[in-house]
Amino acid sequence: MAKSRSFQPLVHQGWLRALLFFIAFGLASGIGISIYFITSHKTNLNGYGLQNLMNGGNLLPVIGILFILSLLVTYVFRRWIDQKTFISLGLDFSGHGREAIAGGMLAVFIICASSLLLKATGHLKWMDIIFDPRALFLAFGSTLVVAFYEELIFRGYILNNLMESFPKWLALMISAVLFMLYHLTSQSSIGFFPMANSLILGLILGLNYLYSKNLWFSFLFHIGWKFLEGPVFGFSGDESFQTLLQPELNGDISITGGAKGLEGSVILMAVSLLSLAALYLFLQHKFNQQFRPVPGRI
pLDDT at 37: 86
- Give φ, ψ of 125 to 5 degrees: -135, 140
pLDDT at 166: 96
pLDDT, average across residues 80-93: 95
- Give φ, ψ of 247 to 5 degrees: -85, 150
Q: Is 258 exposed, middle or buried (0-12, 13-18, 19+ CB in 10 A)?
A: middle
d(CA 190, CA 205): 21
pLDDT tens digits, residue range 67-86? Answer: 999 999 999 999 999 999 99
pLDDT at 15: 96
d(CA 144, CA 172): 23
CA-nearest of 58, 217, 227, 203 to 135 is 227
Amino acid at site 96: H
Half-sphere exposure in the Cβ direction for 107 (13 Å, CA): 23
pLDDT tens digits, residue range 1-34? Answer: 444 455 788 888 999 999 999 999 999 999 999 9
d(CA 1, CA 112): 59
> Which residues have C-beta within 8 Å of that of residue 225, sequence separation ≥ 6?
107, 110, 111, 201
Amino acid at site 159: L
Which of 13-27, 56-70, 160-174 comes out lowest in average pLDDT? Answer: 56-70
185 beta partners = none
248 beta partners = 125
* DSSP letter for each residue of 272-288: HHHHHHHHHHHHHHHH-
pLDDT at 186: 65
Q: Is 38 exposed, middle or buried (0-12, 13-18, 19+ CB in 10 A)?
A: exposed
CA dihedral sign, ordered 12, 16, 17, 18: positive
Amino acid at site 49: G
CA Rg value for the chain? 20
pLDDT, average across residues 157-167: 96
Amino acid at site 10: L
d(CA 62, CA 54): 6
d(CA 168, CA 45): 39
Q: What average pLDDT does the chain have?
A: 87
Q: Residue-wise over 61-73: b if at least 16 C-beta within 10 A, else e?
A: ebbebbbebbeeb
pLDDT tens digits, residue range 204-256? Answer: 999 999 999 999 999 999 999 999 998 999 886 555 678 899 999 999 999 99
